[in-house]
Structure 1
Amino acid sequence: MDSSPKTFLFDLNGTVIDDMHYHAKAWYQVLNNDLNANLTWDEVKVQMYGKNGEVLARIFGEEHFSEEEVEKLSEEKERHYQEAFRPHLKLINGLDSFLEKAKEHNIQMAIASAAIPSNIDFVLDNLDVRHYFNAIVSAADVTRSKPDPETFIKAAQKLGAEPAECIVFEDAPKGVEAAQNAGMQCVVITTAHPEEDFSQYNNVITFIKDYTDSYIEDYFLQEAGK
């Protein structure tokens, strides 16, 4: 790395918590049972990125639903998701210790996610980790979702950080692309995608299975705190 990073930007779903399977199940239920989209499980998983309204627009067309209908469907999908995932809600292995050590190193941290505010609150408050994060950027704060860099740029701006000072933690190719578009390097956690899904990006520092990985524990965090 050319300079020691001073800021960590975390995606939420699949990065802070391992919940993407539950989002897929919720979308599958709404799209097929409620909206008769007749999509396969794999087809649902491919569409599952960005804001909820963007997911619906990709599948049904831009003008198919009114804003009120999108809001209602979004609320229904998130109700299914939260009910199913709540018993399994926990941080990805090692993240609690990693966050505490980053805080001890005076590293600023933010959540930079396409999740809606209520889902971010669901995670941060139930797991009591809100105090680690100096800023939050949600779907409500941006007009363009990942891979557009707006989410990460806004998070950096809120923290007064330059792109070169930021390390993004992501689990999805679209998120890594957004970080690359923002001029930020990225650590990829392989909860949802294998390493080969990221071969086209040049901003990936390393791949980790979880936050006990020796690279970030023994080297990366120390470098970041300098």
Structure 2
Amino acid sequence: MIKAFLFDLNGTMIDDMEYHAKAWSDILNNDLNAGLTYDEVKAQMYGKNDELLVRVFGENYFEPQKMQELSIEKERRYQSAYKPNLKLIRGLKEFLEEAKQQGIKLAIGSAAIPFNIDFVLDNLDIRNYFSAIVSADDVAVSKPDPETYLKCAKELGIDPAHCIVFEDAPKGVEAAANAGMNTVVITTMHGIDEFGQYENVVAFIDDYSNSSPSDFM
């Protein structure tokens, strides 16, 4: 029996991944001369910001302080571009309200830093729905490692087998699988064909407008 819904944030609750891709492309190519195509940038967009920088440039290329500065600057550019369009994916507010009324516990498990999570929760006034929030700063290793979602379950006091994850990215689905959790995939940035290898996907949805919590119980 499902007792908790765990949500990724970017691409799952808000449809903002193209804004992240543009901000990363600007930082990587215009500031750091990485010479990546746009598709190559998008392929690297999983896990923590410093993990992305290490994948692109290698270990020890940047000092930790420099990676932190680049991370914050990337998020500033993303927030500046996206804020005029900031909104929940269609139907999600109603979905969250219905889940809350049904006594389903809710958490966010994101590879985003708190600076970005706060940007979304506070500007959209939805923090009150969530009993646990796990950010990039709260885990040693990000997705596809299961730590993010296992920590969500632990903070909610719910067995992982009784949690279902809402995700938009293959690496996030893999993290849920590694945590022993099934997944509902929101196809905001990745097509259904990109999830064929994952046996823990129970549904694909375009948005939340035609879904209710009982559909996934």
TM-score by length of 2: 0.98
* Paired position in structure 1 for 2:16: 19
2:43 equivalent to 1:46: yes
Alignment: residue pair count: 217
Write the distance in 2 (CA, Å) between the matches of 1:6 and 1:218.
Answer: 11
**Cα deviations by residue, 1:101-146 (Å, 9 ceiling, x for unpaired):** 0000011000000000010000000000000000000000001111
**What are the ranges of 5 or more consecutive residues in structure 1 without an aligned counterpart?**
none
CA contact (8 A) 2:98 2:212 kept: no
Write the distance in 1 (CA, Å) between the matches of 2:37 and 2:88.
Answer: 29
| Paired residue secondary structure (2:212) | helix
Write the distance in 1 (CA, Å) between the matches of 2:79 and 2:133.
Answer: 20
Match for residue 180 of structure 2 among 179, 183, 190: 183
Write the distance in 2 (CA, Å) between the matches of 1:175 and 1:137.
Answer: 14
* Paired position in structure 1 for 2:212: 217
- Give percent identity, aligned residues only: 65
Q: Which amino acid aligns with 2:77?
A: H
Match for residue 163 of structure 1 among 147, 157, 160: 160
Runs (4 or more) in structure 1 with deviation over 6 Å come to none
**Cα deviations by residue, 1:185-211 (Å, 9 ceiling, x for unpaired):** 100000010111000001001000000
Write the distance in 1 (CA, Å) between the matches of 2:168 and 2:43.
Answer: 14
| Paired residue secondary structure (1:63) | coil
1:190-201 to 2 correspondences below 5 Å: 190-201=187-198
Shift of 1:218: 7.7
Write the distance in 2 (CA, Å) between the matches of 1:38 and 1:67.
Answer: 22
* Paired position in structure 2 for 1:139: 136
**What are the ranges of 5 or more consecutive residues in structure 2 without an aligned counterpart?**
none
RMSD: 0.9
**Cα deviations by residue, 1:128-171 (Å, 9 ceiling, x for unpaired):** 00000000000000011111000000000000011111010000
Shift of 1:11: 0.1
